[in-house]
Structure 1
Amino acid sequence: MHRTEVVVTGLGAITPLGADVASTWDALLAGESGIRGGVLRGHEDAGLPGIVAGTMATDPAGALPPVRARRLDRSQQAALVAAAEAWADAGTPEVDPDRLASAVGTGIGGVGTLLREDDVLESAGTRRVSPRTVPMLMPNAAAALISIEYGARAGAYTPVSACSSGAEAIALGARLIRAGEADVVIAGGTEAAITPITVAGFAQAQALSRHTAEPASASRPFAADRSGFVLSEGAAVVVLESAEHAGARGARVHAVLAGAGVAADAHHITAPAADGSGQISAMRKALAQAGLRPEQISHVNAHATGTPVGDVAEARAIREVFGRATVTAPKAALGHLFGAAGAIEALVAVLSVEHGVIPPTRNLATAGVGPDIDLDVVAERRDVPQEAVLTNSFGFGGQNVSLVITDTTRTTTPG
């Protein structure tokens, strides 16, 4: 049965490791960290003196005209910066507007704007609140702004599914192309939610890393002494195209988005299902859509946030599907970009396939891999051909997304 193949022709990012794709990738391969301390100065009286987080390597506002930047939330700025890089990398394709869509996920949206304008309301009254407050805080603004910027009239979609939002947006983009509703989709995720309320909420839930004395070593996915995640911010965007459309215009293809699997635990608002059923289902769906057997996956780019419970649950699910698989955990260097995490890690998976390298997982040297993690965790970069990579993104609410990225020489056969 014929199936439309979806390819990746453009990549864009702004992350704690770099202002663009190249600097992020180089820093990741070099084992650098994007985690910094002192990111919430002035909030010591609220009990947040030792917070570390992954702030963007550069201010996204600096890449935009000043007047425009002031009219956008930080999360929207980041999305536009990443989209511009991805669109340029794709060769600024000429596309029928009715065949071009945007799909940009986020976990929270413009929470920075919401908090700032609420402070204005309480301190100065209604008349001082910005008339741009609502478009700056609404979660769908990033997708809408990208739709406006590039004339995408086939739809502007906004998956809001916690940590899986960015990956779900990419899966949705592929679905739109395969359904014949679009030829090109600008897809990804964005987040800028390093604020006192979000940090305090995660801290009260005991989800944040307690290793704050040395920021660079705070994020420790799969490590024996992991204690929680590190909140980060940024955006990543990919340009997806039907292979036919990309071929007709002679586009350079980075990799193939061969399969996507989406599943729900239907279990608990924050805890993963004990039997890993939702995660296992997402991975198997992605493999089936890609027409691949588990042993054909070169490595798994794990969701692995660094929480004691979450990492072991994912490790067990991966073991169930792949056996003792080779895995990497980029959040050790990037931190957890929440709604943008799945998008940046999909981008990392594309680069892994394109360049034949598995990025290292930082912060394993001191305590080593946890005894409850029976996987081959890559601690130093491995240069070896990567024909197919599976990347996981799992979010609060039991929302699970897995994507399969393959090289451009392989023709997929749906399973």
Structure 2
Amino acid sequence: MSDDNLILIRGRGSVSALELRGNFTASSPQPAFASRQTGTRTLPVGSVPAGVEEAISSLRHAHAPYRQLDRTVLLGLLAARQATAQAGWAAQDASLGVSIGSSRGATGRLEQFHADFLADGVVAAAASPLTTLGNVASWVAYDAGAVGGAALSHSSTCSSAFQALGNAVAWLRAGLADRFLAGGAEAPLTDFTLAQMHALGIYSTFAPQDWPCRPGAGAPSTFVLGEGAAVFALERVSRATLAAEQATASALQFRLESVGFGFEAIPSKTGLSPDGQHFQTAMRQALQQANCPPDAVDALVLHSPGTPAGDAAERRAVAAVFGTEEAPQLVSNKWLVGHTLGASAALSLEFALQILTHQTWPAPPFGTYLAPAPTRPIGRVLVNAAGFGGNASSALVSLV
């Protein structure tokens, strides 16, 4: 993409434990977690509230083919519809591409089909097409009326949404598309997935009403699983077009400056190096792509899942890239919604956009190194994500 073109975020939508388009920057947030019984255990989870359940049910029954779709897909559809509406994009756009990340994909449907097979030895004909990873992006594309654009799916565990975002950016910069819907969706609150997370020995023991997910708080581990989605309407725009728009428009404009990636090959596929080498590479790549010096970043939304080792490694990586002088202020939204796996990076980016809009964030009600409030104007935010297998990604977003 030439320097004459920018990638703007024209619209966005999100679904989480904080409702549709939830407010991450409310000054006095209340715990949005619930209890979920799985086997003999009761675990805190970041599940969507009643209002979102009604929206999911309405969407499922509004169109006959949607009645069989997995919850992950439906969350993605809800977020994508919000993004498209805010962008003001018309239906049936042949140039529109779709790029969606999901760590687990159709988790609920897959587990149900397998349970049915174990019970009676029969597999439904729809089992395979309804549980493939590409099922998420293809249905978002169908619902958005993307009649001829790309429909791309990505699964790189918890950085999946930024893998999807980075691919969309590459297509836009290459001139292969003018517009993209990109983000992530995940509905992992199933018995088997919750049992997997608990088996890792990282799950929080705090009660739902006691802020069970506590990034940056140290031991014990406070990982909490959540569900949600966030999708962004990206558009390639010339500087001349943007200047003409700004002459008459009063709404804030957001620029997606870059998406960087980092990888490390380590023996433990659930761990990471002590100084977060993949985080360092991803952050440096994002800054380099944007020609952005480290001291021009005002805030950093950490991946920070509430695991002591993971949080510490990321913080060391941040120190290696930014130093201790003039480092960006560190924030996280996982204490508000939990860890939504493949959707988490997208929801963190939504948090970053809300910070840019409102110039504030809430103070965590527990001991942590997260910043309680901004101490300077926030014009540029870096967002981190990482996943099992040694992959990390960072997205840089700013006010235009």
- The TM-score normalised by the length of structure 1 is 0.86
Identity %: 29
2:397 to 392, 397, 405: 405
Is residue 306 of structure 1 aligned with residue 306 of structure 2? yes
Identify which of 33, 42, 56 aligns with 1:50: 42
- 2:330 is aligned with what amino acid? V
Q: How far apart are the structure 2 equivalents of 1:144 and 1:33?
A: 34
Render the CA deviation track for 1:96-148: whole Å, top value 9, x for unaligned.
51x2210000001111111112222222341xx44322232111111111122
- AA partner of residue 167 (structure 1): F
Equivalent position amino acid for 2:78 in 1: V
In structure 2, relative to structure 1, the CA distance for the partners of 1:62 and 1:382 (3 Å cut) is: farther
Show the 5 A alignment for 1:283-298: 283-298=283-298
Q: Which of 134, 139, 147 is matched with 2:141 structurally?
A: 147
Aligned to 2:15: 14
> Partner of 1:411 in structure 2?
none
Instruction: Report SS of the residue matched to 1:163.
Output: coil
Give yes or no for contact 1:73–1:113 (8 Å, CA) kept in 2.
yes
Shift of 1:191: 0.4
User: What CA distance in whole angstroms lies between the structure 2 residues aligned with 1:56 and 1:191?
Assistant: 12
Residue 248 (structure 1) shift: 10
Cα distance in 2, alignment partners of residues 173 and 93 from structure 1: 19
Out of 340-349 and 244-253, give the one that drifted further: 244-253
Paired residues of 2:252 and 2:357 also in contact (CA < 8 A):
no
Aligned residue number for residue 76 of structure 1? 73
1:264 aligns with 2:267: no
Distance 1:95-1:183 versus aligned 2 partners, 3 A rule: farther
Residue identity in the other structure for 2:116: V
- CA–CA distance in structure 1, aligned partners of residues 374 and 270 of structure 2: 34
Amino acid at match of 1:292: C
**1:33 counterpart = 2:39:** no
Q: Find the partner of 1:105 among 101, 119, 134.
A: 101
What is the aligned residue count?
384
State the alpha-carbon separation in 1 of the partners of residues 60 and 310 from structure 2: 41
TM-superposed CA distance for 1:228, in Å, is 3.0
In the TM superposition, residue 168 of structure 1 has moved relative to its aligned partner by 1.7
Secondary structure of 1:135's aligned partner: helix
C-alpha spacing 1:346/1:100, structure 2 compared with 1 (3 Å) = same
For 2:220 and 2:365, the matched residues in 1 are separated by: 9
What is the aligned partner in structure 2 of residue 345 from structure 1? 348
In the superposition, relative to structure 1, how do residues 91 and 253 fare at CA in structure 2: closer, same or farther (>3 Å)? farther
Aligned equivalent of 2:384: 392
| Number of the residue aligned with 1:378 | 371
- Correspondence 1:241-260 to 2 at 5 A: 241-244=235-238, 247=242, 254-260=253-259
Partner SS state of residue 154, structure 2: coil
CA positional deviation for 1:225 = 3.9
Distance 1:272 1:300 in 2: 20
Matched, 1:277 2:271: no
Q: What SS class does the counterpart of residue 314 from structure 2 fall into?
A: helix
RMSD across aligned positions (CA): 2.3
1:295-329 CA distance string (max 9 Å, x none): 11011000011001000000100111112431001
Offset of 1:95 from its aligned partner?
7.6
Query: How do 1:184-263 residues align onto structure 2 when only pairs under 5 Å count?
Result: 184-211=179-206, 213-244=207-238, 247=242, 254-263=253-262
In the alignment, structure 1 residue 87 sits paired with structure 2 residue 84: yes
- Kindly provide the amino acid, as one letter, of the partner of residue 190 in structure 1: A
AA in 2 matched with 1:51: L
Secondary structure (helix, strand or coil) at the match of 2:164 reads helix
Task: Point out where structure 2 has 5 or more consecutive residues left out of the alignment.
Answer: none
Alpha-carbon distance in 2 for matches of 1:196, 1:78? 19
Distance 1:183 1:208 in 2: 42
1:80: Cα distance to partner?
0.4
Q: Residue 137 in 1 paired to residue 134 in 2?
A: no
What one-letter code is carried by the residue in structure 2 that aligns with 1:329? S
- Write out per-residue CA displacement over residues 358-406 of structure 1, whole angstroms, 9 at most, x where no aligned residue: x235342xxx22xxxxx5x223x44852110000001111110000001
How far apart, in 2, do the equivalents of 1:384 and 1:355 lie?
Answer: 13
Secondary structure (helix, strand or coil) at the match of 1:198 reads: helix
Gaps of 5+ in 1: 370-374, 409-415
Secondary structure, aligned partner of 1:131: coil
Aligned to 1:51, the other structure's residue is in SS state strand
Task: Quote the Cα distance in structure 2 between the aligned partners of 1:361 and 1:392.
Answer: 20
Work out the CA distance in 2 between the residues paired with 1:95 and 1:112. 30
Amino acid at match of 1:274: P
- 8 Å contact from structure 1 (residues 189, 235) kept in 2: yes
Q: Any conservation in 1 of the 2:222–2:306 contact (CA below 8 Å)?
A: yes
Judged with a 3 Å threshold, the aligned counterparts in structure 2 of structure 1 residues 73 and 65 are, in CA distance, closer, same or farther, namely: closer
Q: In the alignment, is the contact (CA less than 8 A) between 1:219 and 1:363 conserved in 2?
A: no
Say which SS state the counterpart of residue 56 (structure 1) adopts. coil
Write the distance in 2 (CA, Å) between the matches of 1:80 and 1:135.
17
